[in-house]
Amino acid sequence: MNRIVVNCLIAVAVVFSSCEDVINPQLERAEPVLVVDAWINNLPQTQTIKLTRTQPYFQNILPPTVTGATVTITDEDGVVFSFVENNPGEYEWVPAGNNVFGTIGMNYTLTVQTNGETFLASARMGRVPVVDSITFFVQKGNQFIDDLYQAEFWAKDPEESGDAYWIKFFKNGVLQNKPSEIITAYDAGFTKGGNFSGVEFIPPIRRAINPFDTDANDRLLSPYQVGDSVSVQIHAVTEAAFNFLNEVSIQTNRPGGFGELFSTPLANVSTNIRNANPTGSKAIGFFNVGAVSGLGRKFNSLDDLTEN
Amino acid sequence: MRFLLLFLFFPLFLSAQNRATLSGYVKDASNGEALIGATIYIKSMSTGATTNVYGFYSLTLDPGDYEVSFSYIGYGTQVKTIALTGNVRFDLELIPEGTQLEEVVVSSEKEEQGAKSLAMSVNRLDIKTITRIPAFLGEPDLIKSLQQLPGVSTVGEGASGFNVRGGSVGQNLILLDEATVYNSSHLLGFFSVFNPDAVKDTKLYKGAIPAQFGGRIASLLDVRMKEGNNKKHEVNGGIGTIFSRAAVEGPLFDGKGSFIVAGRRSYADILARPFVDLLQDGAALNFYDLTGKANYNINERNRIFISGYTGRDKFFFDKNQGFSWGNNTGTIRWNKIFNDRLFANFSGVFSKYDYSLQFGENERDNFRWNSSVRNLTFKPSFSYFVNTNNEISFGAEVNYYSFEPANAYGTSNGTRIDVSLPEKYNLETAFYLGNSQKVSRAIAIEYGLRFSHFVGLGAGTQFIYNDTVPGVRRTPINERTFAQGEKMISYQNLEPRFSIKGQLSEQSSLKASYTRMAQYVHLISNTTASNPLDVWTPSTNNIKPELGDQYALGYFHDFGKDNMFEFSVEAYYRATQNQIDYIDGADLLINQFLEGDLLSGIGRAYGLEFYLQKKVGKFTGWATYTVARTELKVNGINKGEWYAARYDQTHNLKLSGFYDINKRWSAAANFTFVSGTPATFPTSRFVMQGILIPYNAYDSRNNVRLPAYHRLDVSFRLEGKTVKKNGNARKNSDYWVFGVYNLYGRRNPFSIYFTQGDDRVAAGSPINSEARQLAIIGTFIPSVSYNFKF
């Protein structure tokens, strides 16, 4: 909800002009911290857990990797999935044949052993609804804005409240992954308190699968053109992971300008990684296990457009 | 307890036997407006009185003949000989002096000047002064003008409201003719809802708040509307860069009453329409407000007033989509003089703030959301003028609130879901008793006690939340439902108020005060600037009333010819309890478990305010400097240690100057220097699922300071000619104002934020991070406005 409101307020404020300068402030030094990036799903593909360390904020290089760790996931029946380090810091589990990872409703525990310390996290694999269809519509332009061809996916959240999702989308096979493109849903709405359950995802979520970019002249580009393909994936996430993703969105999706009037203070996002030894060193990051559903469609011609 | 107090005060009632009372109203001879704070002085007795907010005074003396002088700044003093054999009713109209003698008045009290008055921590802003301060886009604005005063600050341009002595925006009580104004802003925070054409008097209490007032812990802004000219019809107006305004006032019932109606409307959308095709049918981008007041003198002892305000900001992309917000207030007042020494006022007040948000172009998919806070108030207040040394005030205030956090539904592909949250009902009741007492020629005291009581009423549901790690969302573990009208929760507080003045000499005095305030309704806002969709919410079983204790000590000194200079220095210390803060990632809108996202903490604020004013001459103006600290301590933020509040400003310097160049031209300038406000910077970064996330290894809040803010504004005013070409005097008057805001175009930092670059990053490539400094106003802003009166 907050995000929609902020976007509205920004619309109000563009009446005035603001300006921004890139600066290089001095930041406090800090010791690196272990980062666990473990988002596991049931797609028939290699599952990867990345171990890295934090780096100084302005260090614009790939983060340092953590090698030589032992990484396993254990389900509630005691079945162990071992993740093997095939590239430095990247620990992989490859499903055999047509198998996929996990069972919906099962609890999983992640164990990471590195530098003599053990880090743990747990998650329950959630369910997802199927994506019924993808449609295209056009928002007619004017002398300032081109016609904007946009996609909309249709899926119905199952009955009974308590499902949370991370919705990812791909344009021509490429994951669209800007901070502004983090799409989350609790049931069919934005928040737990929203009480949208058992219905079609609400329109701002259905229509969030559109990448908005500008050209060199700051002219807004149509998210899709004839010939482009779009695919959408709904990933089940735990409630903790849902909160985490929303925090990530708040902390990273900074449109700037007047939006800053309504920004909240910079704060650390949450984590579900804990050290087996409570007095041991700290780790951050997130572990989630979830089912995935998906659908793709190519925008073949303008005949594909439906009434807006 | 209350009986005990009555008992204490009782001797004062007895002491007033066999004496005579001089009482009446003091008004402006040109338009009949009551003069607030005019001085009635009897030299032979070295005693006197000042008029109250309705222009009424009462003085009880031994019978005899007295020479009484009536005076008010900017008006000719009149001396009358009055034979006081019995009670005498004496109304008087003072004649305003020529405009050239007009003074800039920002003082603790007008005639009873700085050092002599008992008041401390109070600033009064005359509407004439407000219109002379160089303003953003040339529009005089009450709230922006307040920010030129010591102890008042803001988080930046565009931010709503103001901060007083380390209080948050929601801790100020803003009253427009006694009606609570829940959101004082138009167009985010660029303008305020008060139309300067309709405002008569503005008083900001930063501390030492009389027992009559309560409900917010930081300050009280008491705005009184004009009554309207009861001598002749008058039209005032102005055409500005962003909006235009007009006001009509005049007599009613042969001068037994009067009225004023004032309106404003912005025209950004009208101007923009030719350029922006986006504004389709039904699109709107504007604000307007309408302020009105009428009064009628029933007889010498009874007078009634009716006043109201309605205003709205509208932002609609088309006729179905957009949002709007606005305040509506209405006040009915009855002034009753029971006898020459007992003055009463009964006020019935209605106030409502609401906003609505709507999306969706068709019926199958849409979203509608309204939210409001309403209150009905009844407020009887009495002043008993016991004798020249004691003025007792007592009364009550009953407030009935209803909060509607969300009346909302969404339709998704034809299925409609109601996401409304239940309304909340509350009753806030207060009784107060106070006395303003001259103990001796050197010492005066004012003391009072306010008893406040707050009840949450059913129907409703109370949630009981689990205990968890501080700073993490709490989830409800139990709930309890209440029937219609059933008491859900109650709180009560005794709020003592005390202030004392010791006159050191004719020109200097020392003052001290203690004020306790309780606040039962809270503005829920976790953003840098408060925004129009912030929610007001009452105290509940989970949200305790906020409490504030303020101690202030001040030294006041008048000097120069005719005491043309006024100097003061005040120190304050304010401790607060149950301050509301928020978990990271808090969801504050349409969330029935909102309370699980709130944190509670304590606050401390202290500072030293210096103030120097030159009140008369060709050059007038003032300088203020405040050095202050505002800190919060909340379990779950900054590891539970003290941290500086977002609006903490160590140094705050303001200079305002006005210069009369000649009969027609005058110039004004103001300069602001504020040291940087706090911000939270990261230390590190990490990558999760291809997204770059900032990280602060020390979990600290507000660990650095933004660069300093400074700005110079200037304006020139050209008075229209006063005589026609043929030599006759013009009936109408007009003036132009030319101004430049932010003259040297400084890009003052509003915030610094950290973000990954705007470009898409290919998987496996490093992600760039950067810090950006944002200025809300990035350049100088010229303006011109034309104002007229006929």
Per-residue pLDDT tens over the stretch B212-255:
999 999 999 999 898 888 888 989 888 887 788 899 999 988 88
Rounded Cα gap, residues B644 and B674, in angstroms: 15
**A279 located within any domain:** yes
Residues of chain A contacting B680 with CB distance shorter than 8 Å: 265-267
| Structural domains for chain B | 2-99 (2.60.40.1120), 106-224 (2.170.130.10), 225-749+776-789 (2.40.170.20)
**A1 located within any domain:** no
3-class DSSP state of B543:
coil
> Where would I find the beta strands (DSSP E) of A187-306?
229-237, 274-275, 283-290, 292-298
Residues of chain A contacting B413 with CB distance shorter than 8 Å: 154, 199-200
Same domain? For A161 and A299 the reply is yes
Residue A260 has its nearest CB partner, among B268, B753, B771, at B753
Among residues A293, A284, A294, A249, the alpha carbon closest in space to that of A126 is found at A293
Over the range B464-486, which residues count as b (16 or more CB within 10 Å of their CB) and which as e? ebeeeeebbbbebeeeeebeeee
Choice among A262-266, B278-282, B592-596, B724-728 with the minimum mean pLDDT: B278-282
Q: Tell me whether the omega of the peptide bond preceding residue B459 falls within 30 degrees of 0, making it cis.
A: yes
Residues of chain B contacting A178 with CB distance shorter than 8 Å: 758, 760
Same domain? For A99 and A165 the reply is no
Q: How far is A201 from chain B (nearest CA, A)?
A: 7
Rounded Cα gap, residues B578 and B601, in angstroms: 5
Whether the Cβ atoms of residue B396 and residue B453 lie closer than 8 Å to each other: no
Residues of chain B contacting A55 with CB distance shorter than 8 Å: 684-686
Q: Under 8 Å CB-to-CB from B476, ≥6 apart: which residues? A: B463, B464, B465, B466, B593, B596
Same domain? For A84 and A208 the reply is no
Same domain? For A200 and A131 the reply is yes
Q: Do A21 and B159 touch (CB under 8 A)?
A: no
Q: Under 8 Å CB-to-CB from B442, ≥6 apart: which residues? A: B502, B503, B504
Residues of chain A contacting B534 with CB distance shorter than 8 Å: none
Same domain? For A132 and A181 the reply is yes
Q: Do A39 and B689 touch (CB under 8 A)?
A: yes
Q: Do B686 and A63 touch (CB under 8 A)?
A: yes
Q: Do B277 and A144 touch (CB under 8 A)?
A: yes
Chain centroid offset of residue A302 CA: 30
Whether the Cβ atoms of residue B563 and residue B113 lie closer than 8 Å to each other: yes
3-class DSSP state of A243:
helix
Q: How confident is the model at residue B10 (pLDDT cuts 50, 70, 90)?
A: very low
Residue B773 has its nearest CB partner, among A5, A20, A201, at A20
Q: Quick: pLDDT tens for B389-435.
A: 888 999 999 999 999 998 988 888 788 888 888 999 999 999 999 99
More confident residue, B600 or B360: B600
Q: What is the pLDDT of residue A17?
A: 57
A29: nearest CA in chain B? B683
Q: What is the pLDDT of residue B332?
A: 95
Q: How confident is the model at residue B115 (pLDDT cuts 50, 70, 90)?
A: low
Residues of chain A contacting B679 with CB distance shorter than 8 Å: 265-266
Q: How confident is the model at residue B114 (pLDDT cuts 50, 70, 90)?
A: low
Same domain? For A170 and A94 the reply is no
Q: Which run of H or E residues covers position B586?
A: none
Whether the Cβ atoms of residue B512 and residue B118 lie closer than 8 Å to each other: no
Residues of chain B contacting A238 with CB distance shorter than 8 Å: none
Domain housing A139: 127-242+292-304
**A88 located within any domain:** yes
Length of chain B: 790
Mutate to test the interface with B, among A16, A23, A220, A263 (most CBs of B within 10 A): A16
Rounded Cα gap, residues B171 and B630, in angstroms: 14
Q: Under 8 Å CB-to-CB from B612, ≥6 apart: which residues? A: B565, B566, B567, B622, B623, B624
Q: Do A21 and B773 touch (CB under 8 A)?
A: yes
Among residues B600, B598, B592, the alpha carbon closest in space to that of B479 is found at B592
Q: Do A189 and B688 touch (CB under 8 A)?
A: no
Residues of chain A contacting B758 with CB distance shorter than 8 Å: 178
Rounded Cα gap, residues B105 and B589, in angstroms: 43
Pairing status of strand B106-107 against strand B122-126: antiparallel
What are the respective helix, strand and coil percentages of chain B, to the nearest 5? 5, 60, 35
Q: How far is B593 from chain A (nearest CA, A)?
A: 7
Same domain? For A115 and A149 the reply is no
Among residues B400, B347, B357, B407, the alpha carbon closest in space to that of B375 is found at B400
Pairing status of strand B88-89 against strand B20-28: parallel
Q: How confident is the model at residue B603 (pLDDT cuts 50, 70, 90)?
A: very high
Q: Do B315 and A12 touch (CB under 8 A)?
A: yes
Q: Which residue has the tokens 């610094």?
A: B752
Q: How far is A239 from chain B (nearest CA, A)?
A: 12
Same domain? For A160 and A297 the reply is yes
Average pLDDT over residues B733-751: 88
Q: Do B365 and A37 touch (CB under 8 A)?
A: no
The conformational region for residue A12 under phi > 0 = left, psi -120 to 50 = alpha, else beta, is alpha
A242: nearest CA in chain B? B585
Q: Do B766 and A61 touch (CB under 8 A)?
A: yes
Q: What tokens does B402 get?
A: 């209803």
Q: What is the pLDDT of residue A54?
A: 96
Q: What tokens does B167 get?
A: 């209080």
DSSP category for residue A189: B
Q: Which residue has the tokens 């502004």?
A: A180
Rounded Cα gap, residues B536 and B523, in angstroms: 5
Q: What is the pLDDT of residue B111?
A: 42
Q: Do B753 and A52 touch (CB under 8 A)?
A: no
Q: How confident is the model at residue B345 (pLDDT cuts 50, 70, 90)?
A: very high
Q: What is the pLDDT of residue B691?
A: 93
Q: Do B587 and A191 touch (CB under 8 A)?
A: yes
Whether the Cβ atoms of residue A47 and residue B221 lie closer than 8 Å to each other: no
What is this model's ipTM? 0.93
Q: What is the pLDDT of residue A13?
A: 46
Residue A250 has its nearest CB partner, among B585, B695, B750, at B585
B698: nearest CA in chain A? A30
Q: What tokens does A94 get?
A: 């490859």
Query: Which residues make beta-bridge pairs with A74?
Result: A80, A109
Whether the Cβ atoms of residue B217 and residue B517 lie closer than 8 Å to each other: yes
- Rg, chain B, Cα only: 27
Q: Quick: pLDDT tens for A138-182.
A: 988 776 778 889 999 999 999 888 899 999 999 999 999 999 899
Residues of chain B contacting A56 with CB distance shorter than 8 Å: 683-685
Average pLDDT over residues B650-668: 91
Q: Do A179 and B687 touch (CB under 8 A)?
A: no
What is the side-by-side strand order in the sheet with A55-56? A55-56, B684-688, B691-695
Rounded Cα gap, residues B264 and B545, in angstroms: 37
Average pLDDT over residues B438-446: 88
Mutate to test the interface with A, among B355, B774, B780 (most CBs of A within 10 A): B774
Q: What is the pLDDT of residue A3?
A: 47
B685: nearest CA in chain A? A57
Residue A5 has its nearest CB partner, among B529, B589, B699, at B589
Q: How confident is the model at residue B280 (pLDDT cuts 50, 70, 90)?
A: low
> Where would I find the beta strands (DSSP E) of chain A?
19-23, 34-41, 47-53, 55-56, 70-75, 80-87, 90-93, 107-114, 117-124, 131-139, 148-155, 164-171, 174-175, 183-186, 229-237, 274-275, 283-290, 292-298
**A100 located within any domain:** yes
Mutate to test the interface with B, among A251, A258, A263 (most CBs of B within 10 A): A251
Q: Do A16 and B702 touch (CB under 8 A)?
A: no
Q: What is the pLDDT of residue B271?
A: 57
3-class DSSP state of B649:
coil
Q: What tokens does B742 get?
A: 């932010």
A287: nearest CA in chain B? B688
Residue ranges for chain A with pLDDT beneath 70? 1-18, 143, 308
Q: How far is B47 from chain A (nearest CA, A)?
A: 52
Q: What is the pLDDT of residue B144?
A: 86
Whether the Cβ atoms of residue B771 and residue B700 lie closer than 8 Å to each other: no
**A5 located within any domain:** no
Residue B152 has pLDDT above 50, yes or no: yes
N- to C-terminal Cα separation, chain B: 56
Rounded Cα gap, residues A282 and A111, in angstroms: 15
Q: Do B527 and A308 touch (CB under 8 A)?
A: no
Same domain? For A134 and A73 the reply is no
Mean pLDDT of chain B: 86
Length of chain A: 308
Q: Do B773 and A265 touch (CB under 8 A)?
A: no
Q: Do A2 and B589 touch (CB under 8 A)?
A: yes
Same domain? For A300 and A191 the reply is yes
**A234 located within any domain:** yes
**A180 located within any domain:** yes
Q: Which run of H or E residues covers position A204?
A: helix A203-206
Whether the Cβ atoms of residue B554 and residue B570 lie closer than 8 Å to each other: yes
Q: Quick: pLDDT tens for B568-599.
A: 999 999 999 999 999 888 888 888 889 999 99
CATH number of the domain enclosing A85: 2.60.40
Same domain? For A78 and A217 the reply is no
**A6 located within any domain:** no
Among residues B18, B115, B23, the alpha carbon closest in space to that of B563 is found at B115
Q: What is the pLDDT of residue A160?
A: 87
Dihedral of CA atoms A161, A164, A168, A169 in degrees, nearest 10, equals: 10
DSSP category for residue A7: H
Amino acid at A282: K
Residue B375 has pLDDT above 50, yes or no: yes
N- to C-terminal Cα separation, chain A: 23
Number of domains composing chain A: 2
Q: What is the pLDDT of residue B270?
A: 63
Residues of chain B contacting A195 with CB distance shorter than 8 Å: 417-419
Q: Do A2 and B761 touch (CB under 8 A)?
A: no
Residue B69 has pLDDT above 90, yes or no: no
Residue B78 has pLDDT above 90, yes or no: no
Q: Quick: pLDDT tens for B501-519.
A: 998 888 899 999 999 999 9
Same domain? For A119 and A133 the reply is no
Q: Do B703 and A28 touch (CB under 8 A)?
A: yes
